[in-house]
């Protein structure tokens, strides 16, 4: 099994499809540790602007989203979305992803799990 396939068991599908893991850091001590998973948007040309001549211009400020714990470690996904610039007009485009539950900093799946357990 490849690492890419294994990651599908730990991260939401939309994140696996559109972002790549660039780093993983464990923060804290054994009792209260946190796993920070750094993800950057993949270099995939935005389909909605396929007719335009776009160039990647780096990333936006990272967003932090909490997800299911792994091995008793709090998981924080640190996600950077890519900026695209139209070479002819200079207009900047950003792809939007529905990664977190409305009004929270939790992934949709984690928020649904927490909501269900509170009932």
Q: What is the pLDDT of residues 81-99, one digit of tens each?
A: 999 999 999 999 999 898 9
Average pLDDT, the chain: 89
Nearest-angstrom CA–CA distance, 94 and 114: 30
Which pLDDT band holds residue 7 (cuts at 50, 70, 90)? confident
| Residue-level pLDDT at 119 | 57
34 contacts 27 by C-beta, under 8 angstroms: yes
- Cα(71)–Cα(118) distance, integer angstroms: 22
Give me Rg for the CA atoms of the chain. Answer: 16
> For residue 37, what pLDDT is reported?
95
Determine contact, residues 49/22, Cβ cutoff 8 Å: no
Phi and psi for 17 in degrees, rounded to 5?
-70, -30
Tens of pLDDT, residue by residue over 14-52, are 999 999 999 999 988 767 889 999 999 999 888 888 788
């Amino acid at each position: 099994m490849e690492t890419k396939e294994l990651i599908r068991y730990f991260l939401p599908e939309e994140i696996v499809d559109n972002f790549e893991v660039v780093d993983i850091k464990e923060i804290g001590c054994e009792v209260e540790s946190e796993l920070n998973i750094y993800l950057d948007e993949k270099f995939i040309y935005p389909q909605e602007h396929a007719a335009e001549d776009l160039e990647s211009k780096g990333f936006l400020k990272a967003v932090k989203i909490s997800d299911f714990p792994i091995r008793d470690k709090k998981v924080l996904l640190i996600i950077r979305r890519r900026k695209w610039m139209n070479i002819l007009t200079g207009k900047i485009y950003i792809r939007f992803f529905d990664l977190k539950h409305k009004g929270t900093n939790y992934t949709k799946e984690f928020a649904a799990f927490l909501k269900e357990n509170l009932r």
